[in-house]
Amino acid sequence: MLSTSSSSKELSIAKVARSPSIWIPYMDNVILQCGYGFAEAMLQPHAMDEAGMTQTEVGVVFLLMGATYMIGSPIVGKVKEKTKKKERKE
């Protein structure tokens, strides 16, 4: 929360950028996306050769993986938010 009183700590973009609570999830997401790129590059030829999938079918599989992440992230965030509120009350 931003405050205009001089006695409270002031919030700045630099302080937010240096905060571990910002960088840890960011780096986690970068590592996750690197792993996803590796999996896509390795699984695409295998899916086409071994499983007999077409390029379109392989694309749909990876699209579904991304859609699951897109839909699941806010749901997990909401659950975590509610769990955290319950922990604070106890």
Cβ-based burial of 88 (10 A; exposed 0-12, middle 13-18, buried ≥19): exposed
Write down the domain spans for the chain.
14-89
Q: For every one of its 90 residues, what pLDDT tens digit does the chain have, with 9 covering 90 and above?
A: 444 444 457 888 888 888 888 888 888 889 988 888 888 888 888 888 998 999 999 889 889 988 998 999 999 989 988 887 766 665
